[in-house]
Amino acid sequence: GQNIDQPTEMTATEGAIVQINCTYQTSGFNGLFWYQQHAGEAPTFLSYNVLDGLEEKGRFSSFLSRSKGYSYLLLKELQMKDSASYLCAPLGGSYIPTFGRGTSLIVHP
Amino acid sequence: DTGVSQDPRHKITKRGQNVTFRCDPISEHNRLYWYRQTLGQGPEFLTYFQNEAQLEKSRLLSDRFSAERPKGSFSTLEIQRTEQGDSAMYLCASSPRGLAGALNEQFFGPGTRLTVL
């Protein structure tokens, strides 16, 4: 089976840095996605990691450790518009992503 | 607009009625996925197609649910004899192909919100 664990909710201040952790167990592994989802909207792609290490893309970075079944999403220079749910989704052996419950990030002034 | 589209965006129905949703994927994408999402949860996989072939169905998908993709382009999801527990957002996503690498990125449609009274 597949098991994904990420915090339910986090709060942070505008301009700060926040790290959202995700641990997972999957049957087979073909990478891990992070998606952003604003309330009432569809998820949008943020990042994809298939090899260990850090992938940086502007204000967002994502890290993967396959041996530890661990990933994190790092958001820098937080803006109010970053308030959203962040979904960790490992890609199993069938190339179907399994989504976690998501971490609701609240950015306040 | 060349993104994934879904129709209708909202559907209200009475318990016991049948409903059908449509998804039009991005034209060059050969994989199409259906998910269900309830409040406070991540998207839950229902089924997916590679071209017109339905390759996998979730064990959570009861016999009341059926999906088709007759010509490998648009897809329909039908729910028969709806129940109140079917109330959810139904999301469709497409991806370019089933190979390793960033090509597996899924592009989501806006979803169809179903309310069963």
Q: Identify whether the C-beta of residue B81 lies closer than 8 Å to the C-beta of residue B64.
A: yes
Instruction: Give mean pLDDT, residues A36-51.
Output: 93
CA distances from A8 to A70, A75, B73 (A): 16, 17, 37
Best B33, B38, B44, B45 member to test A by mutation, with max A CBs in 10 Å, is: B45
Q: Map tokens 């409903």 to a residue.
A: B19
Per-residue model confidence (pLDDT) at position B59: 84
Q: Which of B67, B70, B72 is closest to B34 using CA atoms?
A: B67
Instruction: Give mean pLDDT, residues A54-80.
Output: 96
Mean pLDDT for all residues in chain A: 93
Contacts of B104 in chain A (CB under 8 A): 30-31, 33, 48, 91, 95, 97
- Residue A6 contacts by C-beta under 8 Å, 6 or more apart in sequence? A20, A21, A22, A23, A86, A88, A100, A101, A102, A103
pLDDT-based confidence at A32, cuts 50/70/90? very high
Q: Taking chain B (117 residues) in consecutive chunks of 10 residues, what is each chunk's mean pLDDT? A: 89 97 93 93 93 88 92 94 96 79 77 96
- Among B44, B100, B107, whose Cβ lies nearest the Cβ of A50? B100
